[in-house]
Structure 1
Amino acid sequence: MSDLSGKTTIVVGASRGLGHGIATAFAGAGSRVVAVSRTAAPFPEPAGGAGSTVPELADAGDPTVAGSLLDRYRPEVVVLAAGASPHMRPLQHQTWETFSVNWQTDVRIAFHWLREALLTPLRPGSRVIVVSSGAAMAGSPLSGGYAGAKATQRFITGYAQDEANRAGLDITFSAVLPRITPLTELGRSAARAYAARDGRSEEEYLKQMGPLLTPEIAGSAMVELVRAEAASVAPGYLLTGAGLKKLP
């Protein structure tokens, strides 16, 4: 997988934020990228015509979409970066509907795509990356069930790896947990809410976090992870502005 030329990568949630940066990076590395999203988005032309981007407008949470697209494109790489923006409120100001939105969206998407990756199955040597969140470790008291949903994404990614191993499938599954960044819509909303909760400015709140994670850094990190030897890949990683760090 060190050479992505001629390989097919499906990026789910490719229209914005980290997902857009990831799709752009894989196309730049020579891959044919199938950019799955519910809304259309422009993508830069890869330098030198290295790779390409094929838009697929679809609801990734639809239980029929994952199997259909995996059958049609037969990818070597799948990156799941789609999810809902949580309702930023303290617990007592949540309703069950707002509290559970990420369970109904993020976890549902991961479940359907991981299940289909095992059932299809993906071809030997394939890689699957689930983009979870650093909130899965640190918690997120202003975002309802978001942190728990993201932790569940990490858990079921591990379950998928166990099932692949039991079935003798040569597929590598990893969960990547990005740290909050104001360079995405979700991150901007969260930074604003937590800064206000702490009585600080957004600038002060973000300064404590060190180098900011950008979509470009996220894209480069995902390409680096896919190009690594499968035997060296960890089940989980923290992703910050400094890059990937293996989780215990």
Structure 2
Amino acid sequence: MSAESIAGATAVVTGAGRGFGRGIAGALVEAGARVIGVGRDGEALKKAQEDLGDGFVPVPGDATEADLAEELIAGHRPAVLVLNAGANPVMGPLSEHTWDSFRGNWDVDVKHVFTWVRAALRLPLAPGSTVVSVSSGAALRGSPLSGGYAGAKATVRFVSAYAAGESESRSLGIRFLSVLPMLSPATDLGASGVAAYAAQQGVTAEQFVANMGAVLTPEKVGAEVLALIGDERPGPAYLLTPGGASEV
């Protein structure tokens, strides 16, 4: 999509009530898109609508539900689909996890991306549409205190790449890409991770953040995702850092 074509387009963003999803929704609304924001927290979505105005339409719901994905994709035929919903991982060393705590991000993050990507391919979305799946920098480096989180986010990236291959082989013209934001204390999930790794290193959260240097904000993620949607670069995956997006 060109930057100009985003204005007036319909976008669906999952996990839109807070964090990176909220930043992405805000960037799309500012660019002139009508954003259907999906999330479990109705109050957070209501607050987002108050902040962003009529360009943001809140839809409370569970993004892992196939019926919801199919209903919204068929009903709105979005030109942009951003898959950001996910669970906050249980933080702790491997020995303290149970299988239920370890698998949480597989049951939410991976399931929701699989569900929406499958629906986008089966409908299918219109040629020229873009589907962005939000993975994590942990997919590249691991995250030993967050159970199955890093592996789940690596699978999110794989699902996006598999869908890109299918779109090409079927000549669907749908662009699939994934973005991998680095750890950030500016989100609830990131703040939890910062606290856990700071404790492991025997430093305060403030010291840990200071050692990180520049912080990746939701607004920065929103701006980079918007730029990637409007860009024709062929890369299937991008690492997001405070310095920008780089192909991986």
**Shorter-chain TM band:** over 0.9
Q: 2:40 is matched with which residue?
A: 38
1:83 paired residue among 86, 106, 116: 86
Determine whether 1:159 maps to 2:165. Answer: no
Q: 1:26 is matched with which residue?
A: 28
For 2:205 and 2:41, the matched residues in 1 are separated by 29
Task: Report Cα offsets for 1:102-138 as digits up to 9, x if no partner.
Answer: 0111000010011011001010100000000000011
Alpha-carbon RMSD: 1.2
Q: 1:110 is matched with which residue?
A: 113
Q: 8 Å contact 1:19–1:81 — kept in the other structure? A: yes
Determine whether 1:212 maps to 2:215. Answer: yes
Q: 8 Å contact 1:195–1:201 — kept in the other structure? A: yes
Determine whether 1:129 maps to 2:107. Answer: no
Partner-residue secondary structure (3-state), 1:244: strand
Determine whether 1:201 maps to 2:230. Answer: no
Q: Which amino acid aligns with 2:235?
A: A
Alignment of 1:7-26 (within 5 A): 7-26=9-28
Q: 1:149 is matched with which residue?
A: 152
Question: Which stretch shows the higher mean deviation, 152-161 or 36-45?
Answer: 36-45
Residue 240 of structure 1: CA displacement?
1.1
Residue 207 of structure 1: CA displacement?
2.5
Q: Which amino acid aligns with 1:36?
A: V
For 2:234 and 2:208, the matched residues in 1 are separated by 33
Q: 8 Å contact 1:45–1:52 — kept in the other structure? A: no
Question: Which stretch shows the higher mean deviation, 166-175 or 198-207?
Answer: 198-207
Aligned length: 242
For 2:181 and 2:210, the matched residues in 1 are separated by 17
Task: Report Cα offsets for 1:225-246 as digits up to 9, x if no partner.
Answer: 11112xx131000011112111
Residue 85 of structure 1: CA displacement?
0.4
Runs of 4 or more above 6 Å deviation:
none
Residue 29 of structure 1: CA displacement?
0.5
Q: 1:190 is matched with which residue?
A: 193
Determine whether 1:238 maps to 2:239. Answer: yes
Residue 45 of structure 1: CA displacement?
5.0
For 1:63 and 1:162, the matched residues in 2 are separated by 22
Q: 1:139 is matched with which residue?
A: 142
Q: Which amino acid aligns with 2:120?
A: A
Task: Report Cα offsets for 1:33-63 as digits up to 9, x if no partner.
Answer: 00011112212555xx8x7011111111012
Q: 2:8 is matched with which residue?
A: 6
2:229 paired residue among 226, 229, 238: 226
Q: 8 Å contact 1:79–1:130 — kept in the other structure? A: yes
For 2:37 and 2:153, the matched residues in 1 are separated by 22
1:58 paired residue among 44, 56, 61: 61
Q: 1:96 is matched with which residue?
A: 99
Note the residue ranges of structure 2 that are not aligned, 5 or more in a row.
none
For 2:145 and 2:23, the matched residues in 1 are separated by 26
Residue 205 of structure 1: CA displacement?
1.7
For 1:118 and 1:218, the matched residues in 2 are separated by 26
For 1:170 and 1:210, the matched residues in 2 are separated by 39
Note the residue ranges of structure 1 that are not aligned, 5 or more in a row.
none
Residue 202 of structure 1: CA displacement?
1.6
Q: Which amino acid aligns with 2:175?
A: T
